[in-house]
Amino acid sequence: MLATLSSSETLVSPDSLKVSLEAGLFTDGNPACVHTLKNKQGMTVSFMDIGATWVSCQVPTSEGKREVLLGMKKLEDYQSHSAFLGATIGRFANRIAKGKFSLNGQDYRITINNNDNSLHGGIDGFDKRRWSVKEHSESHITYNLTSPDGDQGFPGSLTVEVAYTLTENNQLCIEYSALCDQDCPINLTNHAYFNLDGAESGNTILGHELMLLANEYLPTDEQLIPTGELRPVDGTSFDFKTTRPIRDRLLEDDDQKTAKGYDHALTLPSELTDGISPIAQLTSSDKLVTMSVFTDKPAIQFYSGNFLGGTPSRQGEYNDYQGIALETQFLPDCPNHPEWPAENKGFIAKKTFYQYQTSYQFEAQ
């Protein structure tokens, strides 16, 4: 394993990243637009209007700033890769089996883009759209998007906003809101990948220590579609209630072997999904950086970057297990599981307001 490189060798400044990403043209023939938020502690986070994508997260440490978010320097790399790095995901994050569901007595077919299934909203998900900037300041930016009736097969005209706010205690809060003129499944998240050793360090995340306060996990079939079982994590390799290294029980059981590691949804205790109680905590292998996760979503997808190999990076390519995604959401394929508890299902009723938030807080030595 490579040692973590010094920040001066790996950092791409926010200004340089902006210039690089805005040099390319999107499919509409226009360049991307990048904004950077900063606080008085010296932390910076940067976002791109293409996909309302989180493209950089630089945390000040005793050894200098550290880039902890996987990302790229070229717009064409963001357009061509398949790992959804930092993108806003919708209308429906995760998988819908066979791209089919029924709602109010009507059958719907969603575009298929992952084996036989629909993944992260279908072929032309929200990650592939140019979002409009509604408002922005030094510490806040809001993007909005309109998704027309029938978009990727989903019912209803949907308006959606995602707002990013950087606080003075090094917390990035992501707020999602949406309104639809028909009943529709909706499941918004951000697909950020973190490496607290440094995104370009060469290290995997397997030496990171993780605490994840989950109740159950969802076993899957060979196409990573949930079988329907909600299995308690207690005593399994998915039990991270006590902090331990990610590699500790990697590939220990058949559920992991199917996915080449962790790529599973887990349910969260309702008493902790209040947006102010930590549901997960991740610590770098050198113990220098810790990230805590807060949410009011009922579930989380824990992905250990099992198939990141070959994904463009800021300095070449990432390898497998070089980033971890902790995607707060509703359960995958929930439109096809009426037997699951209602709180785990992502639906928006006609003309009702969808609003959820997730925050990532960083502490450094």
Convert the pLDDT of each residue in 117-127 to its tens digit. Answer: 999 999 999 99
Residue 45 sits in the same domain as residue 175: yes
- Write down the pLDDT at residue 6: 41
Is 193 annotated as contributing to ligand binding? yes
Read off the pLDDT of residues 135-145 as tens digits, 9 standing for 90 and up.
999 999 999 99
Task: Using a pLDDT cut of 90, give the percent of the chain over it.
Answer: 95
Residues 219 and 148 placed together within one structural domain of the fold: no
- Answer yes or no: do 237 and 177 share one domain: no
Q: Which of 135, 158, 190 is the last residue of a domain?
A: 190
Question: Does 196 reside within a domain?
Answer: no
Res. 7 pLDDT band, cuts 50 70 90: very low
Residues 351/316, Cβ–Cβ less than 8 Å: no
Question: Helix, strand, or coil here: 248?
Answer: helix
- Whether 303 and 186 share a structural domain: no
Q: Is the pLDDT of residue 9 over 70?
A: no
Does the annotation list 249 as a binding residue?
A: no
For residues 135 and 235, membership in a common domain is answered with no
Per the domain annotation, does 365 fall within a domain? no
Q: Are residues 184 and 220 in the same domain?
A: no
Residues 231 and 318 in one domain: yes
Residue 344 near residue 361, CB atoms below 8 Å: no
Mean pLDDT across the chain, nearest whole number? Answer: 96
Of 127, 162, 190, which closes a domain? Answer: 190
CATH number (domain holding residue 132): 2.70.98.10
Q: What are the C-alpha distances in Å from 361 to residues 105, 213, 296?
A: 43, 16, 15
Element (H, E) at 254: helix 254-259
Q: Is residue 113 part of a domain?
A: yes
Its domain, for residue 75, covers: 7-190
192 is in an annotated binding site: yes
Task: Tell me if 363 is assigned to some domain.
Answer: no
Asked whether 364 and 66 are in contact (CB, 8 A), the reply is yes
CA angle 93, 98, 103 (to 5 degrees): 70
By mean pLDDT, which of 47-61, 317-331, 336-350 is the weakest?
A: 336-350
> Is residue 20 located within the same domain as residue 82?
yes
Determine whether the annotation assigns residue 263 to a binding site: yes
The pair of structure tokens assigned to 152 is 């990727």
Each residue's pLDDT tens digit, 14-58: 999 999 999 999 999 999 999 999 999 999 999 999 999 999 999
pLDDT band at 345 (very low <50, low <70, confident <90, very high): confident
Token pair listed for 5: 């490189």
Reading the block at residue 336, the tokens are 């096809």
Q: Give a yes or no: residue 352 inside a domain.
A: no
Confidence of residue 351 (pLDDT cuts 50, 70, 90): confident
Tens-digit pLDDT profile for residues 194-242: 999 999 999 999 999 999 999 999 999 999 999 999 999 999 999 999 9
Say whether both 43 and 163 belong to one domain.
yes
Amino acid in position 9:
E
pLDDT for 349: 87
The per-residue pLDDT for 10 is: 74
Question: Which residues are part of the catalytic machinery?
Answer: 191, 327
Residue 70 belongs to some domain of the structure: yes
Say if residue 180 is in the same domain as residue 318: no
In the chain, the number of structural domains is 2
Asked whether the predicted pLDDT for residue 319 surpasses 70, the reply is: yes
Could you report the per-residue pLDDT of 63-119, keeping only the tens digit for each? 999 999 999 999 999 999 999 999 999 999 999 999 999 999 999 999 999 999 999
129 is in an annotated binding site: no
Q: Specify whether 160 is located in the same domain as 215.
A: no
Same domain assignment for residues 244 and 174 = no
Beta carbons within 8 Å of 10's beta carbon, 6+ residues apart: 67, 198, 199, 200, 201, 314, 315
Hunting for tokens 């997808």 — which residue is that? 301
Domain boundary among 130, 155, 190: 190
172-189 average pLDDT score: 97
